[in-house]
Amino acid sequence: MTDILKHCTLCPRECGVNRYESRGFCGEGAAVRIARAELHMWEEPCISGTRGAGTVFFSGCDLRCCFCQNYEISHLGKGFELTADGLCEAFLRLRDMGAHNIDLVNPTHFLPQIIEALDRLDESLGIPVVYNSGGYDKPESLELTRGRISIFLPDLKYLDSTAAAVYSGAADYPERAFAAIHKMFELVGRPVFGEDGLMKSGVIVRHLILPNHRKDSIALLKRLSEEFDKGDILISLMSQYTPVYKASEHPEISRKLSTFEYKTVMQALEQSGFDGYVQQASSASEEFIPAFYGEKYY
């Protein structure tokens, strides 16, 4: 499967580079690089549970969000290399620490290597795998996850392609992300929960409300409600936006969310009829950004 990397078209950037010899837009070659693999309590309650998600943060990214909280690893390339054995070891270590699942953060550009690791472990992993991406995914690449990944946790950042171009360098983001979410739903179906309240399979769409963009948030929720039935997907509405990294270059998103903006979008979520989660504005702080590592530390 890693042959795909010889002419990489894994994500919508479709660079076509040989990642064994060079790097594409995501900044990553053929070797897997991660910056952290730890239990994580800050995902949605049905993912973090009581013991935490087994979160693996991958280096590099196919987007260039100017407000990225993880810019150290997504834009600046912090992280350390893992062999195929090393990636399996990281997954098993998290499982043995008590993780409820393996939570792959920003996995899109390392999908073939991740699939190979999961295939090696096969049934022995014994916990669900979560695909936690920025939403800039191709249906053809997502097809590779069939039968291997049971929970999708994609972002849906914008409906407005101008905002997508200006803030993430991807004018085609809205159409790509909607197509990806449809594919994710086709792969895993409606949400399924265990008796412990934890998610076993399904799709949770995350939307981070941006300051001065409440109308885009409302339009995005409306489109979701036109394209999906209420029980198909869950929505996780995030109001903890913090202007980090290069957000200050754009005055309109250089502040936290106002109560008015938050309440208006909340109302739209209620009207949409979707079930889901709301992350409070009180978690809008850089303190919630975990530590990342440039060398293997465990």
Q: Rule CB under 6 A: say whether 115 interacts with ligand SF4.
A: no
C-alpha distance from residue 88 to each of 52, 55, 230, 244 (Å): 19, 13, 37, 33
Stretch that binds ligand SF4, among 12-20, 76-84, 159-167, 279-287 (CB under 6 A): 12-20
Q: Rule CB under 6 A: say whether 10 interacts with ligand SF4.
A: yes
Q: Which of 1, 2, 7, 14 binds ligand SF4 (CB under 6 A)?
A: 14
Say if residue 140 is exposed, middle or buried (CB neighbours under 10 Å; 0-12, 13-18, 19+).
Answer: exposed
Minimum distance between the CB of residue 167 and ligand SF4, rounded to whole angstroms? 18
Minimum distance between the CB of residue 136 and ligand SF4, rounded to whole angstroms? 9
Q: Which of 8, 73, 82, 90 binds ligand SF4 (CB under 6 A)?
A: 8
Q: Which of 3, 15, 120, 232 binds ligand SF4 (CB under 6 A)?
A: 15
CA distance 11 to 110: 10
CA distance 36 to 103: 12
CA distance 87 to 209: 33
Question: Which of 9/161 has CB closer to ligand SF4?
Answer: 9
Contact indicator for 255, 261 with CB cutoff of 8 Å? no
Which residue's beta carbon is nearest to the bound ligand SF4? 24
Minimum distance between the CB of residue 113 and ligand SF4, rounded to whole angstroms? 11
Token pair listed for 16 = 């076509």
Residue identified by tokens 């973090």 is: 48
Which of 151-162 are b and which e, b meaning 16 or more Cβ less than 10 Å from the residue's Cβ?
Answer: bbbbbbbbbbee
Q: Restricting to residues 172-231, which ones interact with ligand SF4 according to CB under 6 A?
A: none
Q: Which of 13, 36, 78, 176 binds ligand SF4 (CB under 6 A)?
A: 13
C-alpha distance from residue 138 to each of 49, 173, 231, 232, 267 (Å): 30, 11, 24, 20, 31
Q: Which of 9, 18, 69, 264 binds ligand SF4 (CB under 6 A)?
A: 9
**In angstroms, what is the C-alpha Rg of the chain?**
18
Q: Rule CB under 6 A: say whether 161 interacts with ligand SF4.
A: no
Question: Which of 175/252 has CB closer to ligand SF4?
Answer: 175
Minimum distance between the CB of residue 110 and ligand SF4, rounded to whole angstroms? 8
Q: Restricting to residues 56-85, which ones interact with ligand SF4 according to CB under 6 A?
A: 62
Stretch that binds ligand SF4, among 18-26, 46-54, 158-166, 198-206 (CB under 6 A): 18-26
Minimum distance between the CB of residue 176 and ligand SF4, rounded to whole angstroms? 12
CA distance 180 to 24: 21
In the chain the beta strands, taken as DSSP E runs, fall at 32-40, 53-58, 80-82, 102-105, 129-132, 151-152, 192-193, 199-208, 234-238, 276-279
Say if residue 64 is exposed, middle or buried (CB neighbours under 10 Å; 0-12, 13-18, 19+).
Answer: middle
CA distance 65 to 136: 12
Q: Which of 33, 36, 109, 213 binds ligand SF4 (CB under 6 A)?
A: 109
Stretch that binds ligand SF4, among 3-11, 81-89, 265-273, 290-298 (CB under 6 A): 3-11
Task: Enumerate binding residues for ligand SF4 (CB under 6 A).
Answer: 8-11, 13-15, 17, 19, 24-26, 62, 109
